Amino acid sequence: MALHTRLCDILGIEVPIVLAGMGGASTPELAAAVSNAGGLGVLGAAGCSPRRLREWIARTRQLTDRPFGVDTLLPASVRRNETATRNGRTPADLLPEYQRFAREFMEREQLAVPDRDALAREAGIDPDERGPMVFSKEFFEAQMEVVVDEKVPVYAAGLGNPEPWLDRLHANGTKVIAVVGQVRHARQVAASGVDVIVAQGHDGGGHNAPVGTLALIPQVRDAVGDLPVLGAGGIADGRGVAAALMLGADGVWVGTAFLATLEAGIEGFQKEAIVESGDDGTVVSRCITGKPARVIRSKWTDAWSASGLEPLPMPFQPMVAMPVLAAGTAARRKDVSPGFAGQGMGLIHSIRPAAAVLRELTEQASRALGDANRYTTA
């Protein structure tokens, strides 16, 4: 049984499975592997400097002649230094206190303070590159200029509404995807004119939604008319793919299942953490970006939760968390820097090539859909 929906025709792919654009993990090697296997590979470029993003796009084009996409963030709530918050104090005023908390955590865990190069690697930038502050409004805008200039086949807004960029993207022939976690956001991006919507439920890794996947997909499907919808959140095997299609999705946006692959851009110890963890190994925390995100539970997430600190907005919260994550990564500490993952990681038991994962997702989904008629009577 072939797995084919209208999404395949819209995006020029063979099977309706799209690699989630996971920052740092969805590298050119992983994106190209998924595209070459018949899905749509998407670069996770959230932390990429404009120069690195351009290099990643060029590298992906070297590795595949099939369609691929680029995922960045377009958050509405990026604060500038002068924006007052609690008791008249700005995020910049609060930052030293938060950074002191992070340094004290690293001292307790006997983690070496990372140097400039290690911090740059954790953020995905070249240490010698000069440009806008990472995760600032100017940084995101500079990324988008690269996306437009490179005329990528597909662009995905992993966070936020891409409406200000739609005319320029569509003029290039770029298909535009928006990731949402609530029905009202789905209606907003649908009205903006995006081509595909990802309904990502609470089960998913990374930036997160308050509504569970099983409930969200059909509600978004009903809310956006005939617009193609991808289901996302906790979909880590073919049964999840089949379930999303039965709920009304035209395809799936899959992240965690591709983290434990040979091509994924995360560290080997982080891949091992995914294989070793179970269904209850994640938490939703704002300790990394300032926005709710599902991550593998760690000593850092526990310490943040116990501190009672309120997260800072972008780009300030990453300035607190990045040194901790870089130090944990340098020390190969699974208990400090295991990474983002969704609740489906309990279904992942080995590290494999991405093509093998895509093939298994497709075959399992086809079997599950073929078996569905056994639950009906003539």
The rounded distance, in Å, linking the Cα atoms of 304 and 321 is 10
Task: State the amino acid at position 313 in one-letter form.
Answer: P
Angle at CA 159, nearest 5°, toward 56 and 87?
A: 120
The contacts of residue 55 (CB under 8 Å, 6+ apart) are none
Distance of CA 50 to the CA centre of its chain: 18
Whether 100 is in a domain gets the answer yes
Residue 376, domain member (yes or no):
no
Mention every residue, 6+ apart, whose C-beta is less than 8 A from residue 340. Answer: 22, 25, 205, 206, 293, 294, 295, 296
What is the helix (H) or strand (E) element at residue 327, kind and residue range? Answer: helix 316-330
| Per-position b or e across 54-71, b if 16+ CB within 10 A of its CB | bebbeebeebbebbbbbb
Residue 109 is assigned to a structural domain of this protein: yes
The confidence score (pLDDT) of residue 86 equals 59
Domain that holds residue 314: 6-370
Residue 91 in contact with residue 79, Cβ under 8 Å? yes
Q: How much is the pLDDT for 124? A: 59
Q: Nearest to residue 325, comparing CAs of 298, 302, 286?
A: 298
Q: Which of these, 248, 278, 268, lies nearest to 344 by C-alpha position?
A: 278
* Residue 59 is assigned to a structural domain of this protein: yes
Does residue 375 lie within any of the structural domains?
Answer: no
pLDDT attached to residue 1: 54
Residue 82: count of CB within 10 angstroms of its CB: 8
- Domain total of the chain: 1
Residues with Cβ within 8 Å of 26's Cβ and at least 6 positions away in sequence, in order, are: 19, 20, 41, 42, 43, 44, 71, 255, 258, 264, 265
Q: Which residue ranges in the chain fall short of pLDDT 50?
A: 81-82
Domain harbouring 365, CATH code: 3.20.20.70
Give the residue from 122, 153, 158 showing the smallest Cα distance to 49. Answer: 122
1 occurs within a structural domain? no
Amino acid (1-letter code) at residue 307: S
Decide if 378 is inside a domain.
no
Residue 377 resides in a domain: no
Reported pTM: 0.93
Residue 37 per-residue DSSP state: T
Q: How many CB atoms lie within 10 A of CB 15?
A: 24
For the chain, counts of helices (H) and of strands (E): 14, 11
Q: Please tell me the predicted confidence (pLDDT) of residue 252.
A: 98
